[in-house]
Structure 1
Amino acid sequence: MREVDIDEIESTKFTGPTPTELSKKANQQMSDFSSLLESLSKLKDKKKRLWQLIFENAVTDRQNAYVAFVDLYSQVHSSHEKHAIHGQNLSKYLERMGKATDQLLKLAELVAAAEEKETPEEEDDGETSQDNNDIYSAIQNRKANN
């Protein structure tokens, strides 16, 4: 196993996207999501607005946790002592990013379901009733799994 020189570790810099770059990317994602929601004509405006807020909050949470993670990691990565002190905080930032990702995935499922309802084949009332039963079953399954 190769020995690592302390000077080599300290000279290592961790850099990620700047907050400005992250902000531009987040704004583009929010704009793209707004366009997607606008394309769903059968979706009520209140639901569109709620989903937009959920999306914006999740993206902002991920962005903020990422910035905090990178800032702390850049200070901690070269010091075992600092890592021991701040390791739990790094883990919490990663957890926050993971939770935001989970929110985005759940939202993506809802949007996908709404997109499926946009297709003309599903305008029959019998299928709408079946869709409601499927949604109810999915909710019950999630409750049982949690």
Structure 2
Amino acid sequence: MNATTSAREITIWTIPDGTPNRDTLLDNVDIIREVNPFWYTLAADGTIEGSARDLDFFAELSARGVRVLPTIGNAFARERVHRAIQSPEARAAHVELLLNLVLENDFDGLDVDYESLYAEDKEDFSLFIEA
């Protein structure tokens, strides 16, 4: 890397069908800083749906210096996020659920991809992210 690109970080989102493919990721670990596999969804009942896949492969990426932060989305269902963050108690429970997911799987963190939220949830969402 030259001085121009050294401050840049490349993040790759991967989807369960294997895109981008393993060889592409491994061939570029020298420039990829983070990988976000789409593994999890906030379910309507407030639980987390989905599971980690290809853990050996992602452990190899991690061993080679690539941070692994799985993505959790809300399937564009704003009501799911609203329920999860609407009160201090709900936020605390949701944060604990996500934190346990990270700790139990030794992830570097999570990429929270909650989209199409209610405008009135702006403050609660900010409090959730800051938690």
- TM-score normalized by the length of structure 1: 0.26
Which structure is higher in helix share? 1
Larger-gyration structure (1/2):
1
